[in-house]
């Protein structure tokens, strides 16, 4: 059955940059050809000739109190501001309309601001309250969802310079599958010292405003935020919304070439543009304008120009321009800001100029619309962005609602054909599962501090940070943590599940230890395992495999080294560490190592981001966008400061008892941290049958919803959070066309804190109490430690093994369960499981429900 792709329109917009504080101001600034790139107020004292496009104007945040503003970072505040404007602009005032609205935010440097005082050794300015509320990479999406009362599920995309463009593509797909009637897409990017220092010392920046494709090469960095509300066309018409344009298609790709430099042959850029047009069902002749990435660097401008020449035989007649000449390179928010600029001007038949244009550079010989607007009626245009690591994105859009042929696709069934695992129990899926079924589940368990001397050194560091100083706190901080708790954390030693005795060279064909860090090594090992399990080798066909990874805290080891090198002289920062400190560095390492060149995205939504990546990968296959996708997550043990604060807040246990991680126990006191990776190889079900490979399981449906309790710090009622998880479960049932009576097993992924235990079990009870009340309930996080990004993936892998063996493992270590109305599995249970439900949540209130059907193995 062929399905016609839904038409997705833009019904709201928001903007913030150095040249404007709202949409109306931005439109006028564009027409006034206002360049916001000037000598930097913030960074000229550190860097000679530093210029930037900075937000220096006074800002207001309608609907927020001063107390809220104090504890939010600019990434969240700016995202809220433009999101609020887009919803107001889109006339989505009724809270009921936001229950089924999705939120996807793209950002590169989230969670940084709270720790800037430590990075700059201004310890007295550190605020524990700000770090707890806004100090995680994923907090931005949780904050905005809660403040704007959006409940249709959220994600955070972290692919650096393509982040917001990537976010738009994911939102587009969610509408295609009826997950959301509309999605709010935001890009937000404050300019912090680590980012500025990284680009400056790479010698990528220009001391005067950038002039893309002309004159002296070099980029100008910028900050800002943008938002667009996208909506199913019929839904928009029904509610009388104003339509500002149409999103027609998108695509992503990976170069698999280099950590920072674009492929000089522009292979990935060519691939992504062709794929976007293929998805739209159009040809190069249908594109009448290209809004280029156009950073101004010699490498980008030359490679991008070559790519356009390869794709468009008629490129000489197509105007091309770079909006970065107005507002600089806005990194994570660049794509959305530039798309909004196109929609505002092209609707009035005005084609944006490339400002500051002088003499074209060698091999840059296109119509770059130099300095002045050009007249032209553009029916369809292309918006391109490229990022470190070779992540490429292309959007096809129109400033009008066209009378055109709509592309179609054949919905695919989605199979899991490969599994790769790394954990404290072993270095591969087979070993780990064998140990579990043999009862050999004694994981390697080590303290976070290696000895007493290291503990004393760390205590002195904490004193310098003055993390206990109440003058920087508030009632929330005082209630959430105390000096006594913090001291107990140090004295008690925080133990963690660890990966040990690992020699990657035994498993990997290509492994460069100079570029490898723990998290990337774990991810690559699991990726290659999943490919081997799926009997898939890449032979110059890497474009047919996508790589979608989910991160929680990301590459902590290299981030710590990079940040430590900033003080005392940021001009001497370790440039080799900068690109590897980005969230998408792990995917970059894997794609380069294995030649994976298909759809490429990194989610950084926090706990269980790997499950969010799984849902996106499912859509890519279901919608015939990619035949095979590798997906999941990886984690390494984070920095001691992070572990310390997590312990003090009660999420992480301080104990040396290997059996203390007791999920659903009446005495449950939180989790024990783990490290490792969980990766699944997904593909079109029929494609797997044609390849004659075993199908481990089939994903038959999923659901996603979020609660808005992020600021309800003292929440004790699990029903507030269980409502969203219940919605996600029923959404999965609807997609799979089944009901509760057909499910044979439920697996939770709670990490063991009281609230998470209670709301997860409340949702299970709500769904199954009337039908199938004796369904077995399990949770296997205790075996592995809580591997933040992929605990749900490890549970899925264990459920697949249960389906194969016909025996359900018991929940480990728990002695006295908090409920007596659910059938917890406490002893090995012989049972054939055909359909299983796996649940997972992020720390910010995003909830996933995945339905698995037994494959043809076992």
The SS3 of residue 247 is strand
Extended beta strands in 108-200, E state: 154-157, 182-189
The residue count of the chain comes to: 858
Look up tokens 């101004």; give the residue.
296
305, 366 Cβ separation under 8 angstroms: yes
The DSSP symbol for 219 reads B
Q: How far is the first Cα of the chain from the last one, in angstroms, to the nearest whole number? A: 31
Q: What is the H or E stretch that residue 645 is in?
A: helix 640-648
Q: Residue 693: phi, psi to the nearest 5? A: -110, 150
105, 141 Cβ separation under 8 angstroms: yes
Q: Which residues of 514-546 are buried (b: 16+ CB within 10 A; e: fewer)?
A: ebbbbbbbbbbbbbbbbbebbebeeeeebbbbb
Q: Within 263-396, where are the H helices? A: 267-280, 298-311, 324-327, 334-346
CA distance 554 to 638: 8
CA distances from 99 to 35, 175, 701 (A): 39, 14, 20
CA distance 794 to 776: 18
193, 116 Cβ separation under 8 angstroms: yes
CA distances from 96 to 148, 149, 531, 721 (A): 12, 9, 44, 17
CA distance 508 to 529: 9
| Residue 624 CB coordination number (10 Å) | 16
The verdict on whether omega for the bond into residue 352 sits within 30 degrees of 0, i.e. cis, is no
CA distance 641 to 153: 30
- Side-chain half-sphere of 134: how many Cα atoms within 13 Å? 24
| Dihedral sign computed on CA atoms, order 483, 485, 486, 490 | positive
Q: Which residues are catalytic?
A: 161, 293, 329
Q: Residue 823: phi, psi to the nearest 5? A: -95, 80
Q: For residue 519, give both structure tokens.
A: 């998290």
Q: What is the H or E stretch that residue 378 is in?
A: none
328, 221 Cβ separation under 8 angstroms: yes
CA distance 206 to 214: 13
Going by C-alpha positions, the residue among 105, 547, 35, 739 that lies closest to residue 322 is 35
């Amino acid at each position: 059955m062929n399905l016609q792709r839904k038409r997705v329109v833009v019904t709201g917009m928001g903007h913030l940059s150095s040249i404007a504080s709202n949409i109306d101001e931005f439109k006028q600034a564009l027409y006034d050809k206002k360049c916001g790139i000037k000598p930097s107020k913030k960074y000229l004292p550190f860097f000679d000739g530093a210029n930037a496009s900075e937000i220096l104007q006074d800002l207001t945040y309608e609907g927020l109190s001063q107390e809220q503003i104090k504890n939010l970072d600019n990434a969240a505040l700016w995202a809220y501001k433009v999101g609020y404007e887009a919803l107001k602009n889109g006339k989505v005032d009724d809270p009921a309309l936001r229950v089924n609205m999705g939120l996807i935010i793209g950002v590169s440097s989230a969670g940084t601001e709270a720790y800037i005082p430590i990075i700059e050794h201004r310890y007295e300015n550190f605020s524990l309250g700000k770090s707890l509320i806004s100090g995680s990479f994923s907090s931005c999406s949780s904050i905005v969802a809660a403040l704007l009362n959006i409940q249709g599920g959220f994600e955070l995309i972290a692919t650096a310079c393509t982040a917001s463009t990537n976010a738009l593509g994911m939102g587009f797909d969610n509408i295609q599958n009826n997950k959301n009637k509309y999605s709010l897409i935001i890009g937000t990017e404050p300019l912090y010292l680590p980012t500025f220092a990284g680009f400056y010392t790479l010698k990528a920046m220009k001391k005067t405003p950038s002039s893309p494709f002309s004159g002296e090469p070099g980029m100008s960095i910028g900050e800002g935020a943008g938002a667009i509300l996208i909506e199913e066309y019929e839904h928009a018409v029904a509610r009388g919304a104003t339509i500002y344009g149409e999103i027609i298609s998108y695509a992503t790709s990976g170069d698999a070439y280099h950590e920072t430099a674009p492929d000089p042959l522009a292979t990935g850029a060519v691939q992504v543009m062709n794929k976007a047009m293929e998805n739209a069902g159009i040809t190069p002749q249908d594109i009448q304008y290209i809004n280029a990435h156009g950073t101004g660097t010699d490498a980008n401008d030359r490679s991008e120009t070559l790519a356009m020449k390869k794709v468009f035989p008629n490129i000489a007649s197509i105007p091309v321009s770079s909006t970065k000449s107005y507002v600089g390179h806005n990194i994570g928010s660049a794509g959305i800001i530039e798309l909004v600029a196109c929609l505002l001007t092209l609707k009035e038949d005005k084609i944006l100029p490339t400002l500051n244009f002088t003499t074209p550079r060698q091999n840059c010989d296109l119509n770059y619309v130099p300095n002045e607007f050009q007249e032209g009626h553009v029916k369809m245009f292309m918006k391109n962005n490229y990022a470190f690591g070779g992540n490429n994105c292309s959007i096809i859009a129109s400033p009008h609602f066209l009378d055109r042929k709509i592309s179609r696709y054949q919905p695919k069934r989605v199979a899991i054909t490969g599994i790769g695992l790394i954990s404290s129990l072993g270095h591969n899926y087979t070993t780990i599962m064998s140990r579990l079924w043999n009862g050999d589940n004694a994981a390697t368990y080590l303290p976070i501090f290696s000895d007493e001397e290291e503990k004393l050194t760390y205590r002195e560091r904490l004193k310098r940070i003055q993390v206990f100083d109440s003058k920087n706190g508030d009632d929330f901080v005082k209630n959430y943590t105390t000096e006594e708790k913090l001291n107990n954390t140090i004295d008690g030693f925080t133990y963690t599940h660890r990966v040990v005795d690992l020699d990657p060279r035994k498993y990997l064909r290509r492994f460069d230890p100079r570029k490898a860090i723990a998290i990337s090594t774990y991810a690559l090992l699991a990726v290659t395992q999943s490919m081997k399990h799926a009997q898939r080798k890449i032979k110059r066909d890497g474009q047919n495999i996508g790589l979608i990874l989910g991160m929680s805290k990301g590459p902590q080891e290299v981030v710590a080294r990079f940040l430590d090198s900033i003080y005392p002289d940021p001009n001497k920062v370790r440039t080799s560490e900068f690109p590897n400190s980005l969230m998408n560095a792990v995917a970059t390492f894997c794609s380069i190592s294995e030649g994976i060149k298909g759809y490429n995205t990194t989610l950084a939504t926090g706990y269980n981001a790997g499950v969010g990546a799984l849902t996106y990968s499912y859509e890519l296959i279901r919608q015939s966008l990619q035949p095979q996708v590798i997906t999941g997550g990886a984690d390494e043990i984070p920095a001691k400061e992070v572990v310390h604060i997590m312990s003090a807040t009660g999420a992480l246990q301080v104990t040396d008892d290997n059996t203390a991680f007791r999920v659903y126990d009446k005495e449950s006191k939180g989790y024990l941290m783990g490290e490792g990776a969980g990766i699944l190889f997904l593909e079109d079900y029929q494609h797997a049958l044609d390849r004659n490979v075993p199908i481990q399981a089939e994903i038959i449906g999923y659901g996603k919803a979020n609660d808005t309790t992020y600021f309800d710090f003292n929440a004790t009622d699990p029903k507030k959070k269980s409502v969203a998880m219940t919605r996600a479960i029923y959404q999965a049932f609807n997609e799979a066309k089944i009901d509760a009576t057909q499910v044979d097993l439920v697996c939770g992924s709670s990490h063991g804190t009281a609230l998470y235990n209670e709301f997860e079990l409340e949702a299970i009870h709500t769904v199954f109490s009337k039908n199938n009340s004796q369904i077995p309930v399990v949770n296997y996080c205790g075996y592995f430690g809580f591997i933040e990004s992929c605990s749900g993936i490890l549970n899925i892998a264990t459920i697949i093994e249960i389906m194969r063996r016909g025996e359900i493992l018991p929940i480990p270590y728990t002695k006295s369960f908090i409920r007596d109305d659910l059938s917890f599995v406490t002893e090995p249970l012989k049972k054939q499981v055909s359909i299983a439900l796996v649940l997972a949540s992020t720390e910010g209130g995003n909830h996933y429900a995945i339905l698995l059907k037994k494959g043809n193995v076992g």
